[in-house]
Structure 1
Amino acid sequence: MSDIKKMYTSILGDNFPSEMTISFGDQKLVYRKRTWGIKMEDGSVAERGIRYGENPDQEAALYELVNGNLTLGGCKFIEPGNGLVSAIPVEDMLQVGKHPGKINLTDVDNGLNIIKYLADKPAAVILKHNNPCGAATSSTLADAYNKANRCDRIAAFGGAVIMNRSVDNDTARMMSANYLEVVCAPDFEEGSLEILAARKNLRVIQMSAIDRLADFENFRFVDFKSLIDGGIIAQQSAVNSIRSIADLQPATATRKDVSYKCDREPTQREVDDMIFGWAVEHGVTSNSVLYIKDGCTVGIGTGEQDRVGVAEIAVHKAYIKYADILCFDEHKIPYADLCLEITQGKRDLADKEAIDAKVQEDRANLPGSVMISDAFFPFRDGADVGIDQGCTAILQAGGSMRDYDIINACNEADPKVAMMFTGQRSFKH
């Protein structure tokens, strides 16, 4: 067992070159491999790149864009000097723990990809396997983190937290109570690092550029996908164009010369949740459906093959996570541990029954939520899943041949459900 465990702490050799050049016709981009002087267990300092790739037996390297400008078809791509994850200096690795691997860095990167649209308020995003498991905004960073963590306390275990405000001691104490892999923020107030130091393997990264992250909203980069035959698909990166109510479109459709439109307009709170939810959606693997309430995720469904299925999965997860947080609040143990202790005769079945009854009564906090879909609903069954759970508004791309049927579903609901279109799809593969 010790030999198996050792692979997760071992550092692979790095045979990638120190420099890489990519040519686009007569235009070239130059990248330099990033390494850091990492303090080893014996006290020595060694120059290391990232620990390993997606798995411990995969060598990997991180490269920073250092030279060249690229314009293709009128699209001007991001220029050197705007480094975020690829430009972290060793002095900003405030606590190294086990120095980062590929997954740690890509989780931070996708957290930045989401939080760059949430600059107006304190915000926290917790990611696991490059998908958000909780995201929230609030009047304080501590409350934003607490809400994001309570969205999915289970998945947040071992996650990466990205925040857009300086970490205060209250927030640090909340984070230190959990097992996290990475904490990334623009700054850390006096005393907060000492609190976080209680978690020895935690990577703490200071990234002052988060303060100007809104500048990255419209930056495009070249997005590569490698194929198993060695080929590459290159595309422009996605840009979220839904930034205010002015960017939303009314849900209307025409079929056989009959016009359809949603009867109810969304409230300001629902619009705010639509804008927030679409920002989070920008970092979620498709097909995906989210449920958002009061600037916080309630249920997140990711990477499913069909839309009604992912709408159901998001509901299922909301119920599971809600039961867990109720149990943790009441008994200070996970719901799964409660169930185990009941089977072992250590707890009364009534404890579980009380939680289950409360979950059903509250319907996992889904009533009043806004349903977010990263693409159109091909059939009304997907929208009906959210409507049946009490969501009061829907945001989706629109453009389906059956948009009229989804509009009918909203108008037939009691009470009626509001719906808006983005006119933009938000797939992420």
Structure 2
Amino acid sequence: MKKTLAFAAVAATTFVLTAPAAEAHLATPTWSTANSVSTGDQDAPAIATNRNGDVAVVWEDDRDTDDATTDVHSEIYIRTYRNGTALYEKKLSAAGSSGVTNWRHLHPDVGLDDKGNAVVVWQDDPDGNGYYNIPYRVLNTAGTVTASGNANSSATGQQINPRVGVDPDGAPAGGAVAFTVTWEDIQTGTPATVKAAGYTGPTTRAWEVTASATTGQHHNPDVAVSASGDAVVVWDDDGDANSSYEIGLIRLGRTNGAATLSRRVANANTGGQQIRPSVAANFNGDFAVAWESDHTGTAGSWTRTFTATGAARFADVQVAAGGRAPSIGLDDASQSVVGWTVGGVDVWVRGFGTNGTDTGRLSAQQLNSLPDGRQEQMTVAVSPYAQVAVAYTDDHDGNTYDQIYLGQDFSNNSW
């Protein structure tokens, strides 16, 4: 049974918080359902925000209600908001090829620049052959698709698990939408690597590089882009092929993808397995990483924050014992918020200052709109001003079909 600390009415719904009783900084979000159509199953949300009050949410949407346990016929949707008001909702994928029945569009991600332009990526199998490519779409503030293409230059092999980071102030030439996409690349007979492609304009791929080493296995990348246009990429790294993973990290330059911060590991504790990283960067180039680790003997979520020069602000800090699939956001004061899932049934958040403590920041707390059923896949975005938005999947009625719940309008600061 879930331990409930408080109930309060917000926007015609309720939220549930669990946190330390003394000096707790509790979130008070405004809740809504991101997907306007509740038919079928909605999964795998991702979220982004900017300094001007925009929030974007993307998700897999399977509206045919054939089976909540399958991802066949999943489409990619986006919905954006400005200062809490919905602007547009749009389907971005294009079903499947003629006569194909087992097509899929999966694992979306989204980024926003400070003008409100959105970039969305996902893994795409419209012909149902089990092999994926990485499409991207650029949308303006009206929801019009202004550019599209595939991030991967070669369709050979398997391209999966994409993520996108968007330059907040755009490319130097005219402030065009600029972004970096990363993904997992699997070629027959060779270990999985992490690729990255940098765009200096909506259709201008300036470079494509292998971000990871080419030895060993490399999985589950994420990427964050600062105002310099440089991209911090993280991933599950087993470069020495010993089946023990660290959190690989590299920063790639805007113009040519060359390393501006050499390849290294983000985690200080090297025992056990370090996997499933999430990364966020701020305007000035500071960045923060969260990941799963079992080096203490129990799996949980951990985090670490770095300056723009790559210097760690503190050693690895445990976010939560038992916390899985962490997601992280970072403000311009280098304060972070981490969200995670516990046991596949609860979603939580916790804030951190630059000293690695939650003093004056969001206390560790269960954060979901409705208390019953299953909530998971928590994802977090933080604005430069410490405003927080979260999205997660919800099945409070236990029918196995999820919806995407969105929480906005709360801060990591206690003042």
Larger radius of gyration: 1
Instruction: Tell me whether the two structures share a fold, i.e. TM-score over 0.5.
Output: no
Higher relative contact order (CA 8 A, sep 6+): 2
TM-score bin (small chain): under 0.3
TM superposition score normalised by structure 2: 0.24
The TM-score, its normalising length taken from structure 1, stands at 0.24
Greater fraction of residues in helix: 1
